[in-house]
Amino acid sequence: AQKVTQAQTEISVVEKEDVTLDCVYETRDTTYYLFWYKQPPSGELVFLIRRNSFDEQNEISGRYSWNFQKSTSSFNFTITASQVVDSAVYFCARNKEYGNKLVFGAGTILRVKS
Amino acid sequence: EPEVTQTPSHQVTQMGQEVILRCVPISNHLYFYWYRQILGQKVEFLVSFYNNEISEKSEIFDDQFSVERPDGSNFTLKIRSTKLEDSAMYFCASRGTGGGNSPLHFGNGTRLTVT
């Protein structure tokens, strides 16, 4: 199976620390898409970012940044100056170019303490 | 911003009962999905639906499950005879066109508890 692995089950940081969530994926596809979703304690899944396999440029959005390294099949997510409201489960996911099925990693629980 | 809406937010049912989970996808979207998340576990694909038919389903989606788009707006998931292990959060999702690039927009989920 072409898995998505989030090796960090749970991370705890103190507010204002930077934190990086790791994601490693497997794929045999030439074209594919990678995503990050956030699941706050209220339970919904919130889309954060998508990336296609041809675009290895890193992206920054406010305190969020993403580092896509095709050579290591990784798509890591960094939160700078973390805040308590960042506490959530973060899921990395992968999709094929014309695929329907989004394959999720197991998620990383991020706890930000004040 | 348009949203995917799911009702009810929480459903409790007895084992063996039929349950229907309802979803209203974003209005101009064409692809519809159900995913489930057993408490504390990963989000798992159940089924995708396009052009009024199932386009892909997982091995979880057995004969006890069915989906329907009964009118132009609703998308339902039916579990014919619920089991204890069906207890989970069920997420509906939709997306527009654009191949795998367009992100799935998820509803807030329905928490199903089978007793």
**pLDDT (tens digit per residue) in B38-85:** 998 889 999 999 988 999 999 999 999 999 998 878 999 999 999 999
DSSP A84: G
pLDDT over 60 at A107, yes or no: yes
Complete DSSP assignment for A17-69? --EEE--EE----SSEEEEEEEE-TT---EEEEEEETT----EEETTEEEEEE
Q: What percent of chain A has pLDDT over 90?
A: 69
Report whether pLDDT(A59) > 80. yes
Mean pLDDT of A38-53: 90
At B112, which amino acid appears?
L
Asked if B43's CB is within 8 angstroms of A44's CB, the reply is no
A96/B contact by beta carbon, under 8 A? yes
Residue entry with tokens 């949203």 = B3
3-class state of residue B50 by DSSP: strand
Per-residue pLDDT at A92: 97
**Predicted local confidence at residue A98, as pLDDT:** 65
Q: Using CA coordinates, name the residue in chain B closest to A90.
A: B42
Paired with A91 in beta bridges are A37
Structure tokens at A34: 């990678």
Q: What is the DSSP letter of B108?
A: -
* Residue among A6, A31, A39, A100 with most chain B CBs within 10 A, to mutate: A100
CA B35/CA B25 separation, integer angstroms: 14
A91 in contact with chain B, both atoms CB, cutoff 8 A: yes
Q: How far apart are CA A95 and CA B103, in angstroms?
A: 10
Q: What is the pLDDT of residue A99?
A: 64
Contacts of A41 (CB under 8 A, 6+ apart): A87, A88
Separation CA A102–CA A89 (nearest Å): 17
Size of interface A-B (CB pairs under 8 A): 63
Chain A CB contacts of B55 under 8 Å are: 100
Confidence class for position A1, pLDDT limits 50, 70, 90: low
**Contact between chains at A33 and B48 (C-beta distance less than 8 A):** no
Chosen for mutation from B4, B42, B113 (greatest number of chain A CBs closer than 10 Å) is B42
Residue B100 and residue A98: Cβ atoms within 8 Å?
A: yes
Chain B neighbors of A31, CB-CB under 8 A? 100
Whether A52 has its CB under 8 Å from any CB of chain B: the answer is: yes
